[in-house]
Amino acid sequence: MIGVDTNVLVRILVEDDRAQLQRARAVLDEAAERSEKVFVSDIVLAELHWVLEDAYEVPRSKILQAIQGLVASARFEFEDTDRVNEALSLYQGGKAELSDYLLGLQASRRGARTTFTFDRALRDDVHFTLS
């Protein structure tokens, strides 16, 4: 298995830098040739969301589609695929950031009864309590 940083996935998804895109594709192709999975951490998913939304102004629906595509691909491995899918479902129907849903679910699965937040976008999520 290999891991990738956010910028590698951004190049693949946005295709805005031809030289880096070719290098990113080469990394993924080489991993495929070796039958290696590509590990994507929760931090990379959170950063990917932020970069696509803030730097590239990609709409929420397209970000959701892109990340769902990564999760559906057999090439990629995640910290907890079920948690990522649940976070994506909450993100699709919610108002908060993907990172918020990931961290709320992570805390819940580690035994936290709630996660306290000031983020009003999470007021209706069962994993959070507004402070």
The predicted pLDDT at position 122 comes to 97
- pTM to 2 decimal places: 0.93
Per-residue pLDDT of the chain (131 residues), as tens digits, is: 999 999 999 999 999 999 999 999 999 999 999 999 999 999 999 999 999 999 999 999 999 999 999 999 999 999 999 999 999 999 999 999 999 999 999 999 999 999 999 999 999 999 999 99
Q: Is 55 exposed, middle or buried (0-12, 13-18, 19+ CB in 10 A)?
A: exposed
**What DSSP letter does each residue of 26-87 carry, written as one string?**
HHHHHHHHTT--EEE-HHHHHHHHHIIIIIS---HHHHHHHHHHHHHSTTEEES-HHHHHHH
- Residue 50 class from Cβ within 10 Å (0-12 exposed, 13-18 middle, 19+ buried)? middle
* Other C-beta atoms lying within 10 Å of the C-beta of residue 110: 7
